[in-house]
Amino acid sequence: MEYVIEMNNITKVFGNFKALDDVTFKVKKGEVHALLGENGAGKSTLMSVLFGLYQAEKGSIKINEKSVKINNPNDASSLKIGMVHQHFKLVHNFTVLESIILGRETVNMGILKKDDARKKVIDLSKRYKLRIDPDAYISDITVGMQQRVEILKMLYSDSEILIFDEPTAVLTPQEIEELMKIMKELVNEGKSIVFISHKLNEIKEAADRCTVLRKGKYIGTVDVATTTKEQMSEMMVGRKINFNIDKNDIETGEAILEVKNLTVIAKNSKKNLVNNVSFEVKAGEILCIAGIDGNGQSELVYGITGLIPINEGQVLLKGKDITKESVRKKSLDGMSHIPEDRHKHGVILDFDLKQNAVLQTYFELRFQKNGFIKFNAVKEYAKKLIKQYDIRSPRDEDSTVRNMSGGNQQKLIVAREIDKDPNIVIAVQPTRGLDIGATEYIHKQLIAQRDQGKAVLLVSLELDEVMDVSDRILVIYEGEIVGDLAPKEITVEELGLYMAGSKRSDKYEKN
């Protein structure tokens, strides 16, 4: 049994927190080995130890049967270990070529020699069928191409062991297929691959074996072909998961939110980020806008909520034209927004919980008089939200939000927005980065709103979330709506085709 990677009894601690607790991980040469676990299970940490970004407090590593010490990425590199990170490590204003050679430049007395490098890169790109343009700037190329640049970085330094950290998070289903093919190609050439994921479908499709981690502990290693998704997910969470969300059918009412011919043009490129989009969200329905990151859904929501200006079109709330209203007025008219980026928009990290609880409402008469804050009222309100929505924090309403976990920060935002008793809730990627418990909770809240007759506009790229939570799906691709689908009537694969722009509903044919 030849193991190309052997990590034995690895323990990694951050302060008081044990990220990895006596974990053993072994990869055979030439296999595709998946590393499965929820967010926070320790998968990325384990690979970071392998890649030299962190050093384990206990345990040992063997590469190709030899004991090694990996103290930094350079050591990992010389052991022929390469890593494609979840968040690409690319410089936006470097060219593809510069990005690939960074750290491994060919030089003559310090002066860059780009021609030799260029040749090698083009050769590699042809050999592994990785299409790239060496002189394009990173900021101009697609996410799929960026990932290929990351892969080429590894191949350029002759990596034999390739680690992929959640590689499919930002790819279309078609790009994911391409990636699977590329991985097979790499394995054919004798490389060994580890890929980190929490997506059972992909693991089933691509991996030979799978190791499961839960809360920093090693749970087991299974042969993928002979293990069901249900078995793997049970190992992952420790309990049986109900894959179907309980949802009753509800009759929908009037249109609460109407969007008509909405267009948002990019400031400098004159490109239509949102292109003539129209739709409506009815009372008692969860409408989901599904699409791969970067197809205009962010700008669509920012335009509807007023965070960015709209070039053309109208937004109506319960029949009233709110297109030109300020962010605050829209909120007062009954629009709630759970933002995509909770640290950027949703909370002020340096404020405490109670100050964040009234972020949207501090100016109301119940919280201020003549410009002076009514501190007791604010405190009581925060306490109420904490109790009702089970928000956990170090010092309750006095906790600095920065010291709260992501899940609880999100719960606070959801609590605040829902407690406003809005007419419509706009939730963008509301469960991003959250564990199963928090995710279930937030889904429940959204469904509860819908059951009460509110309108919910959900924007998501998590296929499970899209299929299970929504009543109706609109697919957005390159700024346009390309499909209006009922989740009960389509398959995930079909949904993927729409998201990738390969299919369009008749209604939305391009003229």
Partner 1 sequence: MSTVYFLAQQTMYFAIPLLIVALGGMFSERSGIVNIALEGIMVVGAFFGIGFINIFQNTMSGQTLLLLAVLVAAAAGALFSLFHAFAAINLKANQTISGTALNMFAPAFAVYTARMIQGVQQVQFMDTFYIRSVPILGDIPVLGQMFFRNAYITTYIGFAIFLISWFIINNTRFGLRLRACGEHPQAADSVGINVYNIRYAGVIISGILAGIGGLTFVIPTSTNFNATVDGYGFLALAVLIFGQWRTQKILVAAFFFGIMKTFASAYSGIPFLKVLPISNEVYKMIPYIATLVVLTFSSKKSQAPRAEGIPYDKGSR
Partner 2 sequence: MRRIKLLQYEGFTSFLSSLMAIVAGLLVGLIILLISNAEDAFPAFITILKGGFLDGTRGMAQVIYFAIPIIMTGLSVGFAFKTGLFNIGASGQFTLGAFVAIYIGIKWSFVPEQIHWLVALLGAMAAGAVWGSGPGILKAFFNVNEVITSIMMNYIGMYLVNMSIVKTVYDSLKNQTKPVLKSAILPKAGMDKLFNTGNVSIGIFIVIIAVIVIYIILQKTTFGYELKACGSNKEASKYAGINEKRSIILSMVIAGALSGLGGGLLYLSGSGKYIHVLDVLAPEGFSGISVALLGMSHPIGILLSGLFIAHLEVGGFNIQLYNFVPEVIDMIIAVIIYCGAFALLFKQIISRFIKKGTSEDIEEPQQAAKIPVAAESQVVNSETEENDTEQREDN
3-state secondary structure of 477: strand
Contact 390/382 with Cβ under 8 angstroms?
Answer: no
- Select from 8, 157, 314, 403 the one that contacts partner 2 (CB under 8 A): 403
3-state secondary structure of 326: coil
Residue 185: enclosing H or E segment and its boundaries?
helix 173-188
Residue span binding partner 1 (CB under 8 A) among the ranges 110-118, 120-128, 350-358, 499-507? 110-118
Q: Over the Cα atoms of the chain, what is R_g?
A: 25
Q: For residue 14, how many C-alpha atoms fall within 13 Å in the half-sphere facing its CB?
A: 9
The answer to the question of residue 104 lying near partner 1 (CB under 8 A) is yes
Residue number, 134 or 487, with CB nearest to partner 1: 134
Distances (CA, A) of 117 to 128, 130, 132: 17, 16, 14
Residue number, 239 or 372, with CB nearest to partner 2: 372
The answer to the question of residue 201 lying near partner 2 (CB under 8 A) is no
The answer to the question of residue 107 lying near partner 1 (CB under 8 A) is yes
The answer to the question of residue 44 lying near partner 1 (CB under 8 A) is yes
According to DSSP, the β-strands at 192-197 and 161-165 are: parallel
Residue span binding partner 1 (CB under 8 A) among the ranges 103-111, 183-191, 395-403, 488-496? 103-111
Q: What whole-number distance in Å separates Cα of residue 335 and Cα of residue 63?
A: 56
Question: What stretches of 351-392 show up as alpha helix (H) in DSSP?
Answer: 353-357, 375-389
Q: What whole-number distance in Å separates Cα of residue 276 and Cα of residue 163?
A: 41
Looking up tokens 């405490």 gives 352
Q: b/e per residue, 163-190, with b = 16+ CB within 10 A?
A: bbbbbbebbbbebbebbbebbeebbeee
Interaction mask 154-173, partner 2, x per CB under 8 A: --------------------
Q: Residues 6 or more apart from 364 whose CB is under 8 A from it? A: none
Classify burial at 137, counting beta carbons within 10 Å of its beta carbon; exposed 0-12, middle 13-18, buried 19 or more. Answer: middle
Residue number, 94 or 362, with CB nearest to partner 1: 94
Residue type, 423: N
- Select from 269, 376, 491, 511 the one that contacts partner 2 (CB under 8 A): 269
Shortest CB 381 distance to partner 2, Å:
15
The answer to the question of residue 39 lying near partner 2 (CB under 8 A) is yes
Phi-psi region of 15 (alpha: psi -120 to 50; beta: other; left: phi over 0): left
Residues 58-97 that bind partner 1 (CB under 8 A): 72-74, 77, 83, 85, 87, 89-94
49 phi, psi to nearest 5 deg: -65, -45
Count interface residues toward partner 2 (CB under 8 A).
55
- Select from 9, 142, 405, 502 the one that contacts partner 2 (CB under 8 A): 405
The answer to the question of residue 337 lying near partner 2 (CB under 8 A) is yes
Note the Cα 96 to chain centre separation in Å.
24
393 phi, psi to nearest 5 deg: -160, 160
- Select from 274, 288, 404, 458 the one that contacts partner 2 (CB under 8 A): 404
Residue number, 87 or 510, with CB nearest to partner 1: 87
- Select from 15, 110, 190, 319 the one that contacts partner 2 (CB under 8 A): 15
Q: Pick from partner 2, partner 1, none: which does 102 bind, CB < 5 to 8 A by kind?
A: partner 1
Q: Pick from partner 2, partner 1, none: which does 349 bind, CB < 5 to 8 A by kind?
A: partner 2
Shortest CB 269 distance to partner 2, Å:
7
Q: Pick from partner 2, partner 1, none: which does 319 bind, CB < 5 to 8 A by kind?
A: none
Which spans of this chain sit near partner 1 (rule: CB under 8 A)? 14, 44, 48, 53, 72-74, 77, 83, 85, 87, 89-94, 98-99, 101-105, 107, 110-112, 153, 268
Which spans of this chain sit near partner 2 (rule: CB under 8 A)? 14-17, 39-40, 92-93, 137, 139-140, 266-269, 307, 326-329, 331, 337, 339, 343-351, 355, 359-360, 362-363, 368, 371-373, 392-395, 400, 402-407, 433-435
